[in-house]
């Protein structure tokens, strides 16, 4: 089993006629993901990679029965694309970055009203190794297994998943929650799903400076039956300076790596000081 996606997930690609949409749709197909339709307004009736293109999400869902949409739409148009998807599918994965915060807030409000799960914006997506991937991550670094991974960072997620794979620790699902200041699903949301997943035996949280998402996650780690290992990037970042993601900024004495590490450790999680320590921490828990 896995969470969020599996081999039966039926996916729409919004923006499939663009360079990024087409490129990653092809890679998702190669991995085995069921790409059932593309959506680009004004391009309905065309075909990309053997996939029919529709003008609207509504029409695509009516004809192809999709349950998930992944969005490769430029930031100025991503709000409208996401709002349309939320109306018709259960899950929306927003790869686009640089979306204005106000637009994102409107999207999240609509998603809550509809009961639609949103990952992102600025997410690498989600992959259940060996089953399906809906995102931009390199499938070759992942392997099927029982470690759930949740990350704010795409590149760190790939690096750490590769280290897990090389150590013989496969992954049940990796979920990229996104690095923006306002996102849909949080660490807490995904931890709750992993807790219910019989295929997941351990969880890795990959966090970074900025915001309070990791501290909020620590609030439920202590009550979970699954052991949790964490890593927080940005320990040497200067206060008040954004590092990488829009959400990675320390301000007002909150959001530091130290405060996040302390919260996770107090909740009972083991926290790695460098990414390469994570496989050993997981193996120590198993032994």
Tens of pLDDT along 239-281? 655 555 555 555 555 578 999 999 999 999 999 999 999 999 9
Instruction: Return the pLDDT at 221.
Output: 98
pTM (two decimals): 0.94
The Cβ-side half-sphere exposure at 163, using a 13 Å CA radius, reads 18
Residue 28 domain flag: yes
Tell me the per-residue pLDDT of 99-113, one tens digit each, with 9 for 90 and over: 999 999 999 999 999
Instruction: Work out how many domains the chain is built from and give that number.
Output: 2
The whole-number pLDDT of residue 255 equals: 75
Regarding whether 197 and 96 lie in a shared domain, the answer is no
Q: Which segments in the chain show pLDDT lower than 70?
A: 236-254
Pair 66, 144: CB distance under 8 Å: no
Please say whether the beta carbons of 118 and 128 come within 8 A. Answer: no
Question: Is residue 151 situated within a structural domain?
Answer: yes
Residue 238's pLDDT is: 65
Whether 66 maps to a domain, the answer reads yes
| Residues recognised as catalytic | 245
pLDDT at 236: 62
Do 152 and 256 reside in the same domain of the chain? yes
Q: Length of the chain, please?
A: 287
Helix (H, G, I), strand (E, B) or coil at 91: strand
Contact 100, 76 (CB under 8 A): no
Question: How many CB atoms sit inside 10 A of residue 19's CB?
Answer: 9
Looking at the domain assignment, is residue 130 inside a domain? Answer: no
From the CB of residue 47, how many other CB atoms can be counted at a distance below 10 Å?
11
Are residues 86 and 153 in contact, defined by beta-carbon separation less than 8 angstroms? no
Q: How far apart are CA 248 and CA 244, in angstroms?
A: 7
Write out the residue range of the structural domain in which residue 239 sits. Answer: 137-286
% of the chain residues with pLDDT over 90: 90
Q: Is the CB of residue 174 less than 8 Å from the CB of residue 149? A: yes
Regarding whether 87 and 168 lie in a shared domain, the answer is no
Write down the residue that tokens 């994102």 correspond to: 104
CB 3 within 8 A of CB 174: no
């Amino acid at each position: 089993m896995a969470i969020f996606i599996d081999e039966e997930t039926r996916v729409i690609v919004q923006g499939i006629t663009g360079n990024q949409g087409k490129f990653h749709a092809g890679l998702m197909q190669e991995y085995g993901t069921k790409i059932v339709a593309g959506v680009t307004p004004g391009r309905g009736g065309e075909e990309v990679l053997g996939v029919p293109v529709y003008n609207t999400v509504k029409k695509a869902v009516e004809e192809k029965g999709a349950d998930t949409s992944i969005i490769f739409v430029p930031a100025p148009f991503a709000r409208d694309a996401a709002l349309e998807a939320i109306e018709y599918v259960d899950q929306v994965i927003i790869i686009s970055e640089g979306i204005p915060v106000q637009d994102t807030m409107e999207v999240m409000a609509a998603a809550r009203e509809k009961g639609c799960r949103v990952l992102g914006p600025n997410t690498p997506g989600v992959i259940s190794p060996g089953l399906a991937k809906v995102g931009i991550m390199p499938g070759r670094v992942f392997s099927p297994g029982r470690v759930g991974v949740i990350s704010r960072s795409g590149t760190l997620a790939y690096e750490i998943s590769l280290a897990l794979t090389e150590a013989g620790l496969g992954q049940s699902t990796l979920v990229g929650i996104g690095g923006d200041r306002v996102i849909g699903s949080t660490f807490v949301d995904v931890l709750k799903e992993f807790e219910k997943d019989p295929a997941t035996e351990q969880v890795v949280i990959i966090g970074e400076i900025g915001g309070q998402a990791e501290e909020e996650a620590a609030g439920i780690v202590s009550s979970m039956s699954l052991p949790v290992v964490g890593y927080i990037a940005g320990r040497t970042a200067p206060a008040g300076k954004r590092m990488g993601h829009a959400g990675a900024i320390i301000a007002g004495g909150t959001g530091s790596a130290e405060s996040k590490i302390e919260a996770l450790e107090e909740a009972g999680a083991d926290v790695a000081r460098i990414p390469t320590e994570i496989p050993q921490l997981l193996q120590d828990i198993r032994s």
